[in-house]
Chain A
Amino acid sequence: MNEEIKKSYFIAKKDMGTYYLKPPLISWGLMLPIVFVFAFYFRNPMGIKEVVPGLIGMTLLFSCTSMAAIVITFEKRIGALERLLLAPLDIRTILFGKTLGSTLFGLIITFCITIFLIPIMGLSVKHLFSFVFIIILSGLAFSLLGILISVGVKEVFEAMTMSNFFRFPMIFLCGVFFPVSVMPYPLPILSYLLPLTYSVDGLKHCLSEDKGMIPLYLDLLILLGFTFLLFSLSLFIFKKRIRQEF
């Protein structure tokens, strides 16, 4: 078990060092969240306070899913994924390693944006442990979502396009810019099915006076559930695609 975790870490470390400068990652995983943050900030510097939890959630979503798209599709294209499949590794080790690399990349980008936003806005983190857990669980869930989308396509641009089908509706449906409670029926039902909703809700608990739609502990539990569900689903699809493609 310990050996397998270590090997997942080696995969993540290599992915982080190898792919962080890839152009699609810079444009979708780094530039887009930064542009959104600045656009909101310059439009109304004080009004941005309300959407800071949403912007943090969105940054995490875009950075993790973009990295996941790169680490899967790029390696499939150059044949390097085959090397991993040849190594004496359990398929779960490979999947966890890929998820870990994407999550760590997302956490670094989100950390940079958070340390810029929180002091400027005069915000404080009320529940530090919950805040950290929400960020980590959301990062894992978004990375797994990115892997799930990317594993079925061949090219990086296809993975990015497919990801956008999910990412853009998510930022409008999950309370990033306006609360789920004001959305017309049946949109809230869709919102409740998406992990970003619980990331944003949890972050609102931690960063603002907003009581959120559900208690903080439930946000954490649901995100944990999403992480396990997406890991199982990704594992199933990953194995299936490997059988088909290799």
Chain B
Amino acid sequence: MDNILQIKDLTKFYGSIPAVDHLSFDVKEGEVFGFLGPNGAGKTTTIRMMVGLTQPSSGTAWIDGHDVIKDPVEVKKTIGLVPETSNLYGELTSFENLIYQAELYGVPRKERKDRALQLLEEFGLKEHLEKPFQKLSRGLKRRLTIAAALIHHPKILFLDEPTTGLDVMSARGLRKLILDAKKKGLTIFLTTHYIPEAETLCDRIAIIVKGKIRIIDTSENIKSQVKETEILEIGLDRVSENLKGLLISLDGVERVLIDENRIRFHTKRLDQVTSPIMKSLEEHGAIIRSINTLTPTLEDAFVKLTGLDSELMKIDKPVKGGPES
């Protein structure tokens, strides 16, 4: 597969702070490439530089052979961007919004109507075609914004946090639409801070923290970074505040993660640490409800590679102004 997107030393400084720090990577034609990182990692800044909305401090990117700095208009013809905020025109109907986008992107007059109707059909919006954008639900707004980004048949679609703020069903429906678009051969560059979303949708994932890429690989290969680690999950009736500190000090325990009433112990010596853990829990009066051994997940690999608490990844960025509801 050819590379449709190439990035070389892309850097952005805000004052003296590097938001994006010398990124270099390629994206292959037809793949779903995920940019996974917590809020403030530099995901959106990277996308904005690639699509010509933000000027890089140094470095550049090529999309379909066009330099994003020297040839921004040609680049914009080959890309579609779905920003974090669904920012179509509130007063225009779904159909009018698509027609307007088609006009701006130079879709021939005789094709505009058919293309708009086709996208409304594909995205399950046909019954809402006469409804103003501002009256659509958040999930439908998101769908229409993606449809608008596809109106001119782009070669690569950039999706910036596509499911943030959506309810479970809307997010699920949207993920299916993204996979359908991939099946049709569209290259997708996706940013997300939801680890399961990256794992479900992406062929390759780049983990980015503080403007730097920690790893780029398939989900399976990233997980293999923690293959020697075993995980013991113990369910308790309740977890007290001081328990974590006591448990991490146990010999052979590398990491302790607490999720509500479940504690996960990461270790390379499961057979040796299980008894001391149980003993310690009993000594502290904890009532054990369940015991499981788990295979390491992408979340475990993420935590190991970044040193970040995976809880950080569950925090949504506040939604900026815009016609969202």
Contacts and interface: CB of A to CB of B under 8 A. Distances in A.
B78 to A, nearest CB: 9
A7 B152 CA distance: 15
B68 interface: no
Given A89-B104, A246-B54, A83 B87 contact: yes
B83 interface: yes
Interface stretch (B122-130, B208-216, B256-264, B315-323): B315-323
Interface string A5-19: 001001100100111
Interface stretch (B17-25, B88-96, B295-303, B306-314): B88-96
A10 B97 CA distance: 12
A246 B76 contact: no
**Among B51, B77, B81, B106, which residue has the most Cβ atoms of chain A within 10 A?**
B106
Given A18-B92, A80-B89, A88-B105, A10 B321 contact: no
Contacts of A18: 89, 91-92
Interface in A12-66: 14, 17-19
A243 B55 contact: yes
A14 B76 contact: no
B73 interface: yes
B105 A78 contact: no
Nearest to B145: A83
Contacts of A222: none
A246 B322 contact: no
A125 B289 CA distance: 93
Nearest to A83: B87
A78 B85 CA distance: 9
B73 A79 contact: no
B273 to A, nearest CB: 51
B51 A79 contact: no
Given A78-B322, A79-B87, A79-B320, A14 B51 contact: no
A118 to B, nearest CB: 34
A82 B87 contact: yes
A108 to B, nearest CB: 18
B278 to A, nearest CB: 54
Given A18-B92, A82-B53, A243-B55, A88 B73 contact: yes
Given A10-B100, A10-B103, A86 B51 contact: yes
B17 to A, nearest CB: 17
Given A87-B76, A87-B105, A88-B106, A78 B87 contact: yes
Contacts of B88: 80, 83
B104 A87 contact: yes
B53 A246 contact: yes
Contact of A10 (B73, B85, B91, B104): B104
B136 to A, nearest CB: 15
A24 to B, nearest CB: 15
Given A14-B89, A88-B73, A79 B321 contact: yes
- Binding site secondary structure of chain B: loop
Contacts of A243: 55
Interface string A60-99: 0000000000000000011110111111111000000000
Nearest to B51: A86
B321 A77 contact: yes
Contacts of B103: 7, 10
B48 interface: yes
A246 B88 CA distance: 18
Q: Which has the most chain B C-beta neighbours within 10 Å: A80, A87, A89?
A: A87
A17 B104 CA distance: 16
A144 to B, nearest CB: 22
Contacts of A84: 104
B74 interface: yes
A18 B104 CA distance: 16
Nearest to A242: B53
Contact of A86 (B76, B90, B322, B323): B76
A3 interface: yes
Contacts of A79: 83, 85, 87, 320-323
10 contacts: A7-B103, A18-B91, A78-B322, A80-B88, A85-B52, A86-B81, A88-B73, A88-B104, A88-B106, A89-B73
Interface of B: 48, 51-55, 73-74, 76-77, 81, 83, 85, 87-92, 100-101, 103-106, 320-323
Sorted nearest first, the 9 A-B pairs with minimum C-beta distance are A79-B87, A88-B76, A10-B103, A87-B104, A88-B77, A79-B322, A18-B91, A88-B73, A246-B53
Given A82-B83, A86-B52, 9 more contacts: A7-B103, A14-B100, A79-B87, A79-B321, A79-B322, A89-B104, A90-B73, A246-B53, A246-B54
